[in-house]
């Protein structure tokens, strides 16, 4: 069972890496075609609301659905719940999508007050293309949840890969005919293709229960009670993006794009890891909570957080010291010139400080969701996103510009993690138990990485960007793996599959 679970997580991780790489390639192509111009800003801004609703609404409904559905008895009870969920998702999301189309311009003006003139007009046209994708994206998220409950993890993850690939190819192929509007066409057709693929994967056993059933059941009520707080608390990352773009719309052209490139690069490692782990672990966690296997839940928490730290904190250090080289290598092509790199890499340095915190917030929240105790996590997230984040940003915005927006995100996400860990300890009885020796080893390893990478990034210069980052990467890997081996970190056994999570 342990080996099978690790194999599934590994397979999902590989597919997810490919999907993320394609999604990241889309950002690179936008940079190549439009650099940090108003057109790049418009593409990113127009996609913000559909993507926000996809992640926030779709993610909350799907998480709640898995939590309720996995605890129901087989047979009519599950079938009726499936039909009711299908009905309300289709009707509610359909109405929301229609409202986005009808009130496109007012919604954009209220959400992004700095938009005006040509940028507003370009963004509005793109938004009209992209808004219909909202319906299909949320539907696809729910369909993926059904597949995940029935352990068809690879198919649900592969559909995201297909979506990102279709989005990118359609956008690039139709650019000569439609210019920036090709990204709108890519968004909506990619979402349709993803839904069709998921429906084929579900087959008739499930699709025959997709009938309209306007009934209120205790299970449906539980779904909404779980989903509503998740929609607020679990949407922290998306709220950050939304607020970043709202503030950046008041800055000069290009900063929306620069913030997007930097934040997407920061997200990549933690998003790949978290999506793979939560896709497979969450249904298992929900079942363990239902069976009251408290020791197994506690073990999942400790090992998961330990692995997150071991994998993401070293990456944070590397990204911080080699941010300029990373931006240049990944983005500096076509219309993305040296001045765009200069605009973007300081933002990447600041965002990198939030990598572990963002992943930790997502991971810990899943334990609250599985135990259906999410309300306090919602209050903490709202306080950090709309309180700490906005206050820090507003205090520093005039002096530091876009860097203030990045600092607001990083500081508030770290505060969020600290508060969630305290809440988990006293409310869920979950905590990180490590000896003094383990703490000393961690400080020694990360301290050595900081000192050596600072020296290598400052004094080892070849005059060739690829050369600098290759040397830095080799030094990083040698110090990290050598340190793990010499200091005998227990988490290394998990990575090498000598142990598993039961």
In the chain, where the domains are located = 1-14+28-34+243-442, 37-233
* Mean local confidence (pLDDT), 265-285: 65
What letter would DSSP give residue 252? Answer: -
**Cα dihedral across residues 376, 377, 380, 385: positive or negative:** negative
**Residue 467 — very low, low, confident or very high, per pLDDT cuts 50/70/90?**
very high
- What are 404-418's pLDDT values in tens digits? 999 999 999 999 999
Q: Is 74 helix (H, G, I), strand (E, B) or coil?
A: coil
What angle, 0 to 180 degrees and rounded to 10, lies between the N-to-C axes of helices 255-290 and 236-248? 170
Which residue from 225, 129, 232, 227 is spatially nearest to 171, judged by alpha carbons? 129
The tokens for 254 are: 């290009």
Res. 4: pLDDT tops 70: no
Confidence (pLDDT) at 500: 42
Dist. CA 243–CA 111, nearest whole Å: 9
Residues 217, 77: contact at Cβ < 8 Å? no
- Chain-centre distance of CA 371, in angstroms? 22
Residues 180, 33: contact at Cβ < 8 Å? no
Query: Which of the given ranges, 231-240, 264-273, 291-300, 420-429, has the highest pLDDT on average?
Result: 420-429
Threshold 0.85, pTM exceeds: no
Confidence (pLDDT) at 279: 56
Dist. CA 156–CA 153, nearest whole Å: 5
- What are 96-139's pLDDT values in tens digits? 999 999 998 898 888 877 777 888 888 899 999 999 999 999 88
pLDDT above 70 as % of the chain: 85
- Chain-centre distance of CA 132, in angstroms? 22
* Mean local confidence (pLDDT), 297-306: 78
Query: Which of the given ranges, 45-49, 214-218, 247-251, has the highest pLDDT on average?
Result: 45-49
Dist. CA 5–CA 67, nearest whole Å: 19
The tokens for 78 are: 């599950």
What angle, 0 to 180 degrees and rounded to 10, lies between the N-to-C axes of helices 255-290 and 133-149? 30
Dist. CA 364–CA 285, nearest whole Å: 12
Stretch among 50-54, 286-290, 368-372 having the lowest mean pLDDT = 286-290
Dist. CA 309–CA 297, nearest whole Å: 19
């Amino acid at each position: 069972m342990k080996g099978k679970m690790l194999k599934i997580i590994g397979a999902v991780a590989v597919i997810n890496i490919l999907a993320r790489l394609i999604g990241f390639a889309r950002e690179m192509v936008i940079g190549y075609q439009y650099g940090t111009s108003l057109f790049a800003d418009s593409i990113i801004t127009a996609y913000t609301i559909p993507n926000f609703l996809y992640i926030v609404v779709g993610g909350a409904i799907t998480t709640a659905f898995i939590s309720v559905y996995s605890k129901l008895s087989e047979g009519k009870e599950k079938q009726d719940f499936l039909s009711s969920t299908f009905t309300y998702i289709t009707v509610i999301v359909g109405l929301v999508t229609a409202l986005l189309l009808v009130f496109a311009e007012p919604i954009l003006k209220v959400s992004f007050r700095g938009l005006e003139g040509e940028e507003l007009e370009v963004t509005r046209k793109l938004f009209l293309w992209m808004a219909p994708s909202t319906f299909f994206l949320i539907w696809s998220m729910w369909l993926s949840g059904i597949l995940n409950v029935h352990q068809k993890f690879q198919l649900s993850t592969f559909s995201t890969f297909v979506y990102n690939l279709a989005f990118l190819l359609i956008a690039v192929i139709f650019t000569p005919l439609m210019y920036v509007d090709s990204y709108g066409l890519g968004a909506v057709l990619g979402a349709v293709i993803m839904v069709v693929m998921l429906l084929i994967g579900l087959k008739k056993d499930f699709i025959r229960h997709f009938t309209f059933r306007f009934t209120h059941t205790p299970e449906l009520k539980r779904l909404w009670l779980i989903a509503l707080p998740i929609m607020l608390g679990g949407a922290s990352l998306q709220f950050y993006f939304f607020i970043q773009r709202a503030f950046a719309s008041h800055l000069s052209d290009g900063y929306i794009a620069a913030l997007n490139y930097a934040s997407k690069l920061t997200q990549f490692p933690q998003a790949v890891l978290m999506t793979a782990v939560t896709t497979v672990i969450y249904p298992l966690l929900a079942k363990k909570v239902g069976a009251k296997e408290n020791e197994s839940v506690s073990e999942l928490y400790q090992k998961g957080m330990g692995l997150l730290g071991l994998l993401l904190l070293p990456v944070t250090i590397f990204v911080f010291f080699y941010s300029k080289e990373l931006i240049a290598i990944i983005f500096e092509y076509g219309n993305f010139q040296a001045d765009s790199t200069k605009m973007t890499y300081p933002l990447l340095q600041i965002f990198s400080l939030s990598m572990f915190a963002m992943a930790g917030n997502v991971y810990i929240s899943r334990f609250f969701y599985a135990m259906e105790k999410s309300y306090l996590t919602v209050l903490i997230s709202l306080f950090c996103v709309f309180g700490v984040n906005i206050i820090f940003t507003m205090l520093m915005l005039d002096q530091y510009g876009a860097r203030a927006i990045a600092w607001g995100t990083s500081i508030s996400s770290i505060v969020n993690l600290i508060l969630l860990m305290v809440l988990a300890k006293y409310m869920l009885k979950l905590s990180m138990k490590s000896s003094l020796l383990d703490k000393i080893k961690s400080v020694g390893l990360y301290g050595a990485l900081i000192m050596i990478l600072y020296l290598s990034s400052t004094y080892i210069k070849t005059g060739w960007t690829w050369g600098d980052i290759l040397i830095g990467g080799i030094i990083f890997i040698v110090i990290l793996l050598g340190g793990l081996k010499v200091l005998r970190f227990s988490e290394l056994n998990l990575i090498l599959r000598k142990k598993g999570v039961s």
